[in-house]
Amino acid sequence: MSDAAAEYRAGGAPQGAHFQASQDSAAARASVSARVRLAVAGAALLLGGALAAPAAAQEISNVKSVDIAVQGSIAQRCQMGSMPTADFGDLTRPGKAAAVKVALDCNVPFKMQIKAQNGALAHSEMPNGSGPYAGSIPYVLDVELPVRRPTTEMISKIFEGRSLTGGQTISSADGIAMDGLLLRLSLGSVTKEAGLLAGQYGEVIEITIAPN
């Protein structure tokens, strides 16, 4: 943003007169008369200046407001950092959970969409299971989103994994995000008594942000 300044300058120069009377009395009387005439003229000049001053003052007093145009801009940004893979390790142990902090910087209100590929931690080859064995593990995703509008507030949402296959949306509610995003995924219990199929399990959760 540029600065604007105005400067007013006023100036003047002094004026003077010098008179010398002769030794002759008539010349002295003429000199006195000249001084008188000059004094009157000087008074008239001062009077004229005094009369002109209120007109200028009146013009200034009539100014009620002054508009100064100032402009600038801030570039819009809305970006999110990468998310690491959460490794639960041995899935035979129940009650596992993983939390990850994701960098998020969005200086405009935005919407966040969360969409899951499977809606559960699914077996790579047999997500529907086989026989008495289950091929997936349910989970719950907890989202904590701190926003500023302008005071800091926390937006918290909890989603079951199966509800994320169609996508879920979180609004920043006219706030902006500068303090990141916290995701916490908690695994549920397997319903089948036989337990889980042996193998690799996984899930992909996609998070998209877009300005309102």
The reported pLDDT for the residue numbered 83 is 84
- 95 or 125, which is more confident: 125
The reported pLDDT for the residue numbered 118 is 96
| SS3 assignment for the chain | CCCCCCCCCCCCCCCCCCCCCCCCHHHHHHHHHHHHHHHHHHHHHHHHHHHHHHHHHHHHHCCCCCCCCCCCCCCCCEEECCCCCCCCCCCCCCCCEEEEEECEEECCCEEEEEEECCCCEEECCCCCCECCEECEECEEEEEEEEEECCCEEEEEEEEEHHHHCCCEEEECCCCEECCCEEEEEEECCCCCCCCECCCCEECCEEEEEEEC
- When mean pLDDT is compared across 43-52, 85-94, 182-191, the lowest value belongs to 43-52
Q: Is residue 6 situated within a structural domain?
A: no
The reported pLDDT for the residue numbered 187 is 95
pLDDT surpassing 60 at residue 8:
no
pLDDT surpassing 50 at residue 138:
yes
Total number of domains constituting the chain: 2
Claim to verify: residue 135 and residue 178 sit in the same structural domain: yes
Given pLDDT bands bounded at 50, 70 and 90, which one contains residue 67? confident
Claim to verify: residue 102 and residue 58 sit in the same structural domain: no
The reported pLDDT for the residue numbered 22 is 36
Q: Is residue 139 situated within a structural domain?
A: yes
CATH of the domain at 109: 2.60.40
The reported pLDDT for the residue numbered 60 is 62
Claim to verify: residue 151 and residue 68 sit in the same structural domain: no
The boundaries of the domain holding residue 35 are 18-72
Given pLDDT bands bounded at 50, 70 and 90, which one contains residue 55? low
Q: Average pLDDT, stretch 43-50? A: 42
Claim to verify: residue 92 and residue 179 sit in the same structural domain: yes
